Amino acid sequence: MPTPKKRTTRSKRDMRRSHDFAVPKTSVNCPNCSALKLPHNVCTSCGYYKGEEVVVAKST
């Protein structure tokens, strides 16, 4: 394995890591059934999107 010639500085290491952190997933409450769902997505529990049932819900 080749070895780096110089140690990476704290600054350069941290600059590289500035893009590495995960962002928390956002979720909104469904206006129809108030279950937690992903924004701009069909609700997984009632199958509604923009006030209309677009897919038939899986269960309940």
Instruction: Determine, following the binding rule CB under 5 A, whether residue 57 of this chain makes contact with Zn ion.
Output: no
Tokens encoding 10: 């704290």
Q: Which of 32, 42, 49, 57 binds Zn ion (CB under 5 A)?
A: 32
For strands 52-53 and 48-49, give the pairing: antiparallel
Instruction: Determine, following the binding rule CB under 5 A, whether residue 44 of this chain makes contact with Zn ion.
Output: no
As measured in angstroms, the least distance from the Cβ of 24 to Zn ion is 21
* Interface segment toward Zn ion; rule CB under 5 A; list 5-13, 17-25, 42-50, 51-59: 42-50
Residue with tokens 């956002």: 26
Beta-carbon contacts of residue 31 (< 8 Å; ≥ 6 apart): 48, 51
Report the interface residues with Zn ion, using CB under 5 A.
30, 32-33, 43, 46
